[in-house]
Structure formats: C-alpha cells, structure tokens
Amino acid sequence: IANDPVLASLAEPLAACKQSLDLRNKMVPERDDDEWTVITGTGAMALGVLAIIKASNPKEKVMVLGRGEAALKFATEYGADATLQLSGVNPERIAASIAAELDALVDTNHFDDDSSVCKDICKTKAGKKAVQAALAAVRECRARGAHKPVILQTLTEAARKAAEDVMTEENTAVFKHAQEMANGFISSVFECTGSERLLETLFNSRCMLANGAIIGLGCHYGVHFDVAMLRRFELAFQPVRRSCNQFPATLELLNNRPEFFAPLVGGTASFEDFGKLMFGEVERAETGTGGPKTVVVRS
C-alpha cells in the first residue's frame, strides 16, 4: 500500500477497529457458531469493524443496525449477514421546527385552540406527539404567567422529550427484532454511534445474552449511563480510544487483501477543498463503491 495513499489512509481507523475486535475476543473468548455480533452505526468505523471481523472470521454472524438505507445496502453487499434500520426520528430537529413555527403564535390568544398549527410536522407519529407535548407545555406556562422566552424554552424541551420517547420506542422494537432474528443469541455489540440514548435503549431492551460485551467504538466522551444497568443485565462495557500497536497487523491485512478493504473508501476530496467539504459547499468525488469513508488527499 506504499504507493496507494488512499488505501493507506484506512490503516489508522482499521487499527482501532482491530483493537476493538481483540478486546471483544478477550471479553467473550468462547463463542458458539450460533451466536451473533451486532454493530450499531454505518459510518467508517462501524463498517470498518464489519470488514475486520469478516477478514478475520468470515463465518462469524454479523448484524448491522443503522439509519440510512444506502449504507445498510452497502453493509449487506460487503458481507453483513443481516441488517435492520434504526429509527429515523431526529428529536432535536423536530423540537427546533416546532419552536420556530410556534414562535410568533405564542403571543396570540387563539394559539391554544388552533388545530392547524404544525400540520406538516404532525404527519409523523413523533411529530404529532411532540406537537401535543409542546401545546401542553404552553398551556401550563400560560397558567402560571410565564413570559415568552420561558414558554419557548419549555415547549422546546417538552417537544424534544416526546420525540425522544418515540425514537426510543422504535429502537427498542429494532433491538427486539434483532434478538428474534438471532434466536436470542446476541453475545456482543459494537456500539459505533456514540449515542447515549441508543446505548441506554440497548441496555433496556434486554436483547443480549448474560455475560455479553458492549464495545464502545463511538465518540463516548460525553456519554453517561447508569453502571448499575450493566450489573443488572450482567453485561460488560469496554470503551476503545486507541489502536494500541495494532498498526503492524493492520498493515499486513491491507497488504494481503487490498481489494477487500478498498470498497470502504466511497469518495475522495482534495486537501485544498477540505473546508468547503465540511460546510457542504463541494461534494466528494465518488469512487463508485458507496463506501462510508471519505479520504482527503493532497493534489
């Protein structure tokens, strides 16, 4: 890979993925053939884990859970044994949309009884629940004489919480479905989204075997959860931050099977356009694989 900088760029993320797999193997050393591994997320790290697993043990059963249809399609083509789509609800976006639409109406007298407010948002279950919660919050705030800034803040929080509840409900159903597909044999999960809500939903769904391991490969710097939940469900959580001297083995994998790992790179961008790429002002140059990784190269 010395003459292929695009392929070489995979070394660092794949080294962390290999470290996560090695940690999983230490925590769950004896795995039966009917046990499943679940990966949450469809980004470069998540599908990098899929690649490392399949390169190391093609027979291991892997299920990928993610939000995007295109990414899940890529995961299937790349070797995932099953895929399921996570909830597409975005609580922050829904709450912000409701707050923006209700901003001017908060001062009006007909606001509480206007059935036409947020009609487009109400077309989804999460949107409808969020609007109902926001209206209830407004009525409560008005009853105690709250001013507009407080009303807007309160309705936004209420809307977000209601949308989060729907998202949790939908994702719980996804984890339960995954458990059914695996006949109850999910022994390890690679959590690659860094979502606190998704992690707690995973715990509470009780979809994993006792003594199972959750490998936190996402950005878990700001994630909090009740450690007692791990004890209650007899699970272990292992965060992964560094590659821990996995580069030699990872480079060997890349050298031996470049054609297998190359599809992970779905696009490239020039170093000069990096800023524009981050702000969405330019698109990456597609490689045609549909892979999740975008590589920035010097022209």
27: domain CATH number? 3.40.50.720
In a domain, 266, yes or no: no
**Which letter does DSSP use for residue 116 in this model?**
T
Overall number of domains in the chain: 2
The torsion defined by the Cα of 260, 218, 270 and 10, in degrees rounded to 10, comes to -30
pLDDT at 112: 57
Q: Please check whether residues 164 and 232 belong to one and the same domain.
A: no
Positions of the chain with pLDDT under 50: none
What backbone torsions phi and psi does residue 183 show, to the nearest 5 degrees?
55, 30
Q: Please check whether residues 145 and 187 belong to one and the same domain.
A: no
Question: What tens digit of pLDDT does each residue of 104-138 get?
Answer: 888 776 665 556 788 899 999 999 999 999 999 99
pLDDT at 227: 86
Question: What tens digit of pLDDT does each residue of 242-292 get?
Answer: 788 899 999 999 999 999 999 999 999 999 999 999 999 999 999 999 999
Q: Please check whether residues 142 and 16 belong to one and the same domain.
A: no
In a domain, 25, yes or no: yes
Q: Please check whether residues 97 and 158 belong to one and the same domain.
A: yes
Q: Please check whether residues 155 and 218 belong to one and the same domain.
A: no
In a domain, 271, yes or no: no
Q: Please check whether residues 164 and 99 belong to one and the same domain.
A: yes
In a domain, 255, yes or no: yes
Helix axes 148-181 and 91-102, enclosed angle (nearest 10): 150
What is the rounded distance in angstroms from the CA atom of residue 187 to the CA atom of residue 172? 17
Burial grade of 87 (CB within 10 A; 0-12, 13-18, 19 or more): buried
Q: Please check whether residues 159 and 198 belong to one and the same domain.
A: no
In a domain, 193, yes or no: yes
Q: Please check whether residues 164 and 111 belong to one and the same domain.
A: yes
Q: Are strands 293-297 and 186-191 parallel, antiparallel or unpaired?
A: unpaired
Tokens for 293, please give them: 């990784």
Q: Please check whether residues 108 and 252 belong to one and the same domain.
A: no
Domain of residue 99: give its range.
Answer: 91-168
What is the rounded distance in angstroms from the CA atom of residue 27 to the CA atom of residue 238? 9
List of residues 6+ apart from 189 with CB closer than 8 A: 37, 38, 39, 40, 202, 208, 212, 213, 214, 215
pLDDT at 107: 77
